[in-house]
Amino acid sequence: MSRPSGGNRAEPDAWARSIGPTLGGRVKGIFSGIAYYSRSMDQNRTESSRVPALDLLRLAAVGAVILYHYGFWGPASHGETQVALPELEPFAQYGFLGVPVFFAISGFVIAYSAEGRTPVGFAIARFSRIYPTFVLCMTLTFAAIVLFGTGHFEVTTRQWFANLFIAAPLLGQNYVDGAYWSLVIEVVFYAWVAVFMALGLFPRRIDAIIVAWLAITFANELTIDAPLFEKLFMADDSGFFAVGLLIYQHYRGRRDVRWWALSALSLGTAVFQSIHKLERLGVHAHASYDPRMVAAISVVGLGLVFLATRIKRLPLPAKVVLAAGGVTYPLYLLHMQLGYVIFTAVAPQAHVAAITCAIVVGTFVLAYSVWRFFESWAHPAAKSVLHRCADQIRRRSSPTSLNAK
């Protein structure tokens, strides 16, 4: 991983020393030094850092979630009369486990993304990656509900506005699409990583972070089971994130005994969390699950994440693999509520499977269009704007600006 040259590093050090003894000056100096490096770090990152097999695994995971939403959960759970493909229910009901596999992949990817970046650079990269696409997909879903939604599928402008902040329930509004709950978990994870980076603890103290995190998880899950702790510390999914973080450590060559012990602890926590969810999920979905099947799928899913990081090349065109990975995020955001609205508007009485497949294919095409024609410019544009803002703060905190004051 390339880093700024010694000449680049000297410049912020010089003005940092000249800031003076005031607390305000020191704070500004620290932030300015962070901002100074954030752009150069990002410029040194290339597409060669991708792990191609993870792109295909992402697509498989979102496919499992789609199977769950159309073969088991479906519009019937939203007050409608029909699950799209009920014949798939025995298999589809386990598709919810695609989401925690996403979390494990996220643990790996975020550790990779944080490497060589400052906290500001990391925050800019993550925000520009997820937020523009989220706003577009959420707005498209909102428009579909307004135009075609009936009965349960209703939405207000106030609800749309609250969803701009992603965690809409904090503002007293429902998600435009119920699938957004997992995005909130992801954002909380990003925030913790950024905080630990700023404190100089990530990834240097990754072992201590994981141990403390899992201890909080078990303390909450086995005692008070407080919703606040569940959300703040991702206590329902911490094991999956931790496995992903540790897989990245292995990817970078770590093989010590502590790594194996932490990996076993994290894997066991992930399996425990998957089974622990079943009580609430079973009541909510009016279904029964086989805990052994859930445990087996969780272990296999995490094993596939590990194996994907060991595969260096795939016998597929690079553009196809890149598209497979790129389409998964907008596809996840678009497939559920928008698809339900279209399904109930069409209200098929015959050829239900064909119509359902057409809806899924349609959302896939829409997701591909978002990735191909929107993200290609929206992400760089958002990143550029945020970098300029960081640079302006740096310039205002420079010795010349401070002396002028």
DSSP per-residue codes, 246-290:
HHHHHHTT---HHHHHHHHHHHHHHHHHHHHTHHHHHHHHT----
Mean pLDDT of each 10-residue bin along the chain, 405 residues long: 37 36 43 44 50 94 94 63 72 92 96 92 94 97 92 88 96 94 96 96 95 92 79 92 97 95 96 89 76 96 96 92 95 94 84 90 97 95 91 74 51
Residue 277: predicted pLDDT: 87
Residue 404: predicted pLDDT: 52
**Cα–Cα dist 251/261, whole Å:** 16
Residue 16: predicted pLDDT: 36
Beta-carbon contacts of residue 120 (< 8 Å; ≥ 6 apart)? 31, 34, 35, 38, 390
Residue 373: predicted pLDDT: 96
**Is residue 282 within 8 Å of 73, Cβ to Cβ?**
no
User: What is the identity of the amino acid at 170?
Assistant: L
> What is the dihedral sign for C-alpha 63, 66, 70, 71?
positive
Residue 41: predicted pLDDT: 45
